[in-house]
Structure formats: structure tokens, C-alpha cells
Amino acid sequence: MLSPSPVELARAGVAYPGGVQGLADVDLTVAESEILGIIGESGAGKSTLLNLLTGEVAATSGSVTVLGSDIGRLDRAGLRRLRREIGVVFQGVHLLSNRTVRQNVEVALSLRPRQERTASAVDDVLRFVGLDHRADAYPAQLSGGQRQRVGIARALVSRPRLLLCDEPTSALDAATAGEVLDLLRDARDRFGTTIVIVTHDLDVVRGVCDRVALFEDGRLVDILAVAPSARGGRETYLDRARRELGG
């Protein structure tokens, strides 16, 4: 039997108290190992969608199935178990400032049941994000891009099957953002992680997404395959400045 898709929304809706419709009638399936972009203007429902997938927000209509579990039917323990399978990466990652890079990642791993932790998990993931040489540094000693890579290491250390990213590159310059996107793609290629990325940046979609879902006023209005030709080589920040600002 085929394993179920990691994310399946069937006519899912969220009506917030007060009557605002955060999402309405969303049918959406994300395939195993897919990288899906979510775009839309402010208020379109992007955060509501991410919060639905983690169970922070409950659907008030339709159903939301994540990694084979119908979220609406899970009890608290079931929801906790499911959340352990989901990694999250947010914009402006919050690291513990008085802990080293290694300790920040260890804290994330300590949330896993003991029998699922491997001795080399932290070293492996630090090597994967290219920060093994900075393991003993403190967050204040890192660049913004390096801090975001620690955030990704924290999210990946427990090998989640699903990774949710909310504006993962918005605080970064183009070159550093490109490195972070390369890392997300590597995670998919190496671990088979399914990734959902909320972004306002079409370069992020172009750079890493297989498909992109377009939201407007809480509705999924279109879903597009990202053309491979749209990817191409990444333009540097200075090249872009020359193209956009030059005479």
C-alpha cells in the first residue's frame, strides 16, 4: 500500500472567534519529499495554515491529516507525539544566548525520547549545516546566516519527516539566503524531508520549491508547478542591484 501523503487538507476551514474566516475550503495535498511554497498577501491565511499543520489552531470545518494522523481526532499525547515528527524554522530564529551552538542543538534533541537519540546526532547535524567548526561559539558571535543555520540544525536534529518554515530567509541578504535554501534542498535530498515554506519572496519559490500554492483571503486560489527553467543560476545581490538600479 502507498503511504499516505504527509499533508492532506480536505475542505479545511478555520473560522476565528469574532467571525474572521482565516481559511476556507482548502483542499491541498503535499507529496512525500516535496518542497511546497505558500505565498499570499498579508492576511491571506499563511500563518493559519502553518498553525493548522502543527495543531496550534484547530480546523472548524473539513479535515487536516498530517503524517497519517487526523489532527482533529488526536488527544494531547497524540498531538505531542505528532509534533515531535515536525520541525519548524522561523524567521529571526531565537537561540538561547547563554548556550553554545552545540548546546542549543542539544536542547532540541533532549525533547526526543531517550531511545530515539543517537550519540552522534548533534555532531552529524552540525556538520550537515556546515557549523561543526563553530560548535563552541555563542549566538552573539555568529552572523545572521549562521544563526539561521543553527535554527535549521535544531529543527533537523531529530530527523523530522515534515519541516515547516516561516519566512526562513527574510532577515538575510541574497547570498546568505541562497545558502539557507541550498541547505533546505539538501535536507530534502538527503533525508527525504517534506518541506512547506511560507514566504513573500518569489526568489525563494524560484530557488527551492517544486510547487507553490497561492492564497488570497483565506482561499487556495491556485497551485503551480515551479518551472525548472525558472530556477537557473542564482543572481548575486550586486548583479541584481546592477540589473534593477543600473541605467
Distance CA 146, CA 152 (A): 10
Q: Is 247 in the site for ligand ATP (CB under 6 A)?
A: no
Q: Which of 46, 102, 134, 147 binds ligand ATP (CB under 6 A)?
A: 46
Distance CA 242, CA 247 (A): 8
Question: Which CB, 126 or 165, lies closer to ligand ATP?
Answer: 165
List b or e across 90-112, with b for residues whose CB sees 16 or more CB atoms inside 10 angstroms.
bbebebeeeebbbebbbebbeee
Q: Is 92 in the site for ligand ATP (CB under 6 A)?
A: no
Q: Which of 18, 113, 228, 233 binds ligand ATP (CB under 6 A)?
A: 18
Distance CA 112, CA 204 (A): 31
Q: Which of 6, 40, 145, 151 binds ligand ATP (CB under 6 A)?
A: 40
Stretch that binds ligand ATP, among 39-47, 66-74, 130-138, 175-183 (CB under 6 A): 39-47
Binding residue count for ligand ATP, defined by CB under 6 A:
12
- Amino acid 205 reads V
Q: Is 44 in the site for ligand ATP (CB under 6 A)?
A: yes
Question: Which CB, 49 or 105, lies closer to ligand ATP?
Answer: 49
First to last CA, the chain: 59
Query: Angle formed by the axes of helices 121-128 and 144-156, to 10°?
Result: 140
Which residues are at the interface with ligand ATP (CB under 6 A)?
Answer: 16, 18, 20, 22, 40, 42-48
